[in-house]
């Protein structure tokens, strides 16, 4: 197939007519589909319905009555389950309620209000003249929103196939004490599905930073969410400890996409001094998170990490056809055209695509007009502004396979139509 950029004006005009008529035909179908958010589908949620069953005991293994006050840092058996699953030591953990995003926001708020450390030069970030935060792009909009809400200046750094561009990261964090941290999704990053390499994780853990309180917000959101073969995130705590930076990483995990996003158990873990710091303030904030959800979660899995893995394999079996359909469709429709690039995610929840420059916003608008909601163009960039207007996040997990096929058909037509229009502008 000829690369579209090499097409003549006449060829492009003919293509435009064809795609416009395809688009109008699809539009007439009156679709009403949503490919915008990383939500689990009903068939995935159904796998966890036993969580709603009667809880036959309100006692923990140590006899604590979960109906009453107390246990601010989370049930021991819940910590143990998560420790077996993630490799994070229970002593580093605080297990809370729904959701890990709340842990991230609250940790950030804590650092803004009280500082990240008592070491010299570590004033509350809210008192600093400027806080800058590194945001691998494309990345997760809700991460960016947390730091934006606090008032940090968001600094994009390119995301590569094995993690962020570390030269760029070091170029910012090395000399500038205002650079206080970075967002990292180590496994199956949102939206590219990349897995960070051991080497890059090691550089993150050990690099010199001008800020003594530089923090890696390590959101292992997809830590057990394999789609094809299983990958593993590097052990960031071990790497930070080895580098003499034991407080650098703050780790997040949750069962939102393991069981129910509407009733998950969120986890935050950190270095010893940071956990102590968090707990000191957390004790002022609550007398305990919802312990029934914690105990239900433990009982659902019989306290066994292996059972979580078995459960996640069932979820993967439901997700694989959806991902395969996306990748097959993109391959069939766009390979050789030179108008669309996409990631081959290793797992997780998303596929990231890049159109030609200046086309993403128009594609999303066209799809919307025909009844299909895509993640907003620019959402994968700080402030919602993709400077090249080319990245779109495809979230294939929520619709059923048939709906997904319809959505992708429309998506492909929108990309083609918008692209030929763009090419015609300069033809």
Interface contacts to a second copy, rule CB under 8 A: 37, 39-40, 42, 45, 48-49, 51-55, 58, 65-70, 97-99, 101-102, 105-106, 109, 112-113, 124, 126-127, 142, 145-146, 148-150, 256, 260-264, 281, 284-293
Q: Residue 87, Cα to own-chain centre: how many angstroms?
A: 20
3-state secondary structure of 268: strand
Tell me how far, at minimum, the Cβ of 77 lies from a second copy, in Å: 15
- Mapped onto helix, strand or coil, the DSSP state of residue 156 is strand
Is the CB of 163 or the CB of 376 nearer to a second copy?
Answer: 376
Nearer to a second copy, 64 or 337 (CB): 64
**Pairwise CA distance, residues 264 & 282, whole Å:** 19
User: Smaller CB distance to a second copy: residue 114 or 228?
Assistant: 114
Nearest-approach distance from CB 205 to a second copy, in angstroms: 28
Calculate the alpha carbon distances from 168 to 136, 165, 252, 351, 425 in Å. 10, 6, 24, 24, 35
**Cα–Cα dist 110/137, whole Å:** 25
What is the SS3 string spanning 82-96?
Answer: HHHHHCCCHHHEEEC
| Closest CB to a second copy among residues 312, 360 | 312
Shortest reach from residue 69's CB to a second copy, in Å: 4
Q: How far is the CB of 57 from a second copy (least distance, A)?
A: 9
Identity of the residue, 62 or 425, whose beta carbon is nearer to a second copy in the bound complex: 62
Q: Which is nearer to a second copy, 53 or 328 (CB)?
A: 53
Min dist. Cβ of residue 132 to a second copy (A) = 18
Minimum Å distance from CB 186 to a second copy?
Answer: 21
Element spanning 401, H or E = helix 401-426
For residue 101, the minimal CB distance to a second copy (Å) is 6
Written as one string, the DSSP assignment of 24-68 is HHHHHT---EEE-S-PPPHHHHHTTGGGGS-----B-TT--BTTS
Question: 333-370: string of b/e by CB count within 10 Å (b at 16+)?
Answer: bbeebebbebbebbbbbbbbbbbbeebbbbbbebbeeb
Q: Are 246 and 272 in contact (CB under 8 A)?
A: yes
Nearer to a second copy, 163 or 264 (CB): 264
């Amino acid at each position: 197939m000829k690369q579209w950029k090499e097409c003549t004006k006449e060829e492009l005009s003919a293509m435009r007519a064809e795609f416009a008529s395809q688009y109008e035909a699809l539009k007439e179908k009156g679709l009403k589909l949503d490919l915008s958010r990383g939500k689990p589908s009903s068939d995935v949620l159904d796998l966890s319905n036993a969580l709603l069953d009667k809880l036959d005991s309100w006692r923990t293994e140590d006899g604590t009555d979960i109906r009453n006050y107390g246990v601010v840092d989370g049930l021991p058996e819940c910590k143990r389950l998560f420790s077996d699953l993630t490799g994070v030591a229970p002593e580093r953990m605080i297990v809370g309620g729904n959701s890990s995003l709340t842990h991230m926001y609250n940790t950030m708020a804590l650092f803004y209000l009280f500082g990240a450390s008592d070491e010299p030069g570590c004033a509350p970030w809210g008192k600093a003249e400027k806080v800058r935060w590194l945001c691998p792009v494309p990345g997760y909009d809700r991460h960016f929103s947390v730091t934006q809400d606090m008032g940090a200046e968001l600094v994009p750094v390119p995301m590569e196939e094995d993690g962020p561009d570390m030269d760029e990261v070091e170029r910012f964090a090395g000399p500038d004490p205002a650079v206080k941290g970075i967002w990292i999704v180590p496994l199956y990053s949102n939206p590219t599905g990349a897995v960070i390499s051991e080497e890059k994780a090691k550089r993150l853990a050990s690099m010199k930073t001008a800020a003594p309180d530089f923090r890696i917000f390590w959101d292992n959101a997809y830590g057990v969410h394999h789609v094809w073969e299983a990958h593993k995130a590097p052990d960031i705590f071990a790497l930070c400890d080895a580098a003499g930076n034991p407080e650098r990483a703050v780790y997040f995990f949750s069962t939102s996409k393991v069981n129910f996003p509407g009733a998950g158990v969120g986890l935050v873990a950190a270095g010893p001094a940071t956990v102590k710091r968090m707990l000191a303030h957390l004790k002022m904030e609550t007398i305990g998170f919802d312990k029934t959800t914690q105990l239900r979660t433990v009982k659902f899995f019989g306290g066994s990490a292996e059972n979580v893995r078995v459960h996640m394999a069932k979820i993967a079996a439901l997700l694989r056809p959806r991902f395969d359909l996306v990748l097959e469709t993109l391959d069939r429709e766009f390979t050789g055209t030179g108008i669309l690039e996409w990631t081959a995610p290793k797992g997780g929840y998303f596929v990231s695509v890049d159109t030609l420059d200046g086309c993403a916003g128009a594609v999303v608008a066209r799809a919307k007009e025909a009844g299909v909601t895509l993640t907003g163009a620019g959402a994968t960039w700080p402030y919602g502004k993709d400077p090249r207007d080319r990245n779109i996040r495809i979230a294939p997990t929520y619709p059923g396979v048939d709906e997904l096929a319809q959505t992708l058909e429309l998506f492909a037509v929108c990309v083609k139509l918008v692209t030929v229009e763009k090419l015609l502008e300069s033809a």
